[in-house]
Structure 1
Amino acid sequence: MIIVTGHAIAREGYQEAMQKLAVEHVERSRAEPGCISHEVSRDVRHSRRFVFIERWSGMAALQQHFRLDASRQFAHSMAQLSEGSPKMDIYQAEAIRLSLEPI
């Protein structure tokens, strides 16, 4: 599984525009092959900071996502609405099942 984390800080006065753009992107991404989950949230301590968490079935699915014109346009638009550069980190991970049995 591939996990993508990221965040962007909206320029003052552009929070609602960024939220609309982010929600549209998340909804579109969720319908793509290989997308396990894709979420956006606002930081409760910094309302202009939008946090993205994505899970993809594999690197091929994520690369296909990045190739889409809609994804490229989203990245460009986010950069224009952001204070500074948006940040993104990509991780390869595997799920771990915990047993909560008493010791």
Structure 2
Amino acid sequence: MIIVTGHTTASEGAEDEMSRLAVEHVLRSRSEPGCISHEVSRDLENARKLMFVEKWVDIHALQTHIRVPESRAFAQAMQRLTDGNLDMTIYQVDPTQKP
């Protein structure tokens, strides 16, 4: 399984547009093949900061997601709306079995 975590902070005044685009992106992404989950949350200490957590069945599913034109457009929009801080980390994990 692949887990992606990320966060970004909206430029002042861009919070609403960034939130709207983030929700659209998350809802669309959830329907893509290989998406286990895709979530966005707002930081309770900084209302301009959004955090993303995604789970994909494998790296191929994530790479396919990244290549979708809407995903590219979303990334470009986030770059335009951010205060300059975009952070993303990709993890490959082997989930432990429940006893």
- Structure 2-normalised TM-score? 0.96
Matches within 5 A, 1:11-50: 11-50=11-50
TM-fit CA distance, 1:97: 4.0
Amino acid of the structure 2 residue aligned with 1:55: K
Matched residues in 1 for 2:15 and 2:67: separation?
A: 26
| Equivalent position of 2:91 in the other structure | 91
Q: Map Cα deviations across residues 29-71 of structure 1 (whole Å, 9 max, x no partner).
A: 0000000000000000111000000000000000000011000
- Structure 1-normalised TM-score? 0.93
Q: Any gaps of 5 or more consecutive residues in structure 2?
A: none
TM-fit CA distance, 1:95: 1.3
TM-fit CA distance, 1:85: 3.2
| 80-89 or 48-57, larger mean C-alpha shift | 80-89
Amino acid of the structure 1 residue aligned with 2:12: E
Identity %: 53
Q: How many residues align?
A: 99
Matched residues in 2 for 1:94 and 1:45: separation?
A: 32
| Equivalent position of 2:73 in the other structure | 73
Matched residues in 1 for 2:5 and 2:83: separation?
A: 18
Q: Which has the larger radius of gyration?
A: 1
SS in 1 for 2:61: helix
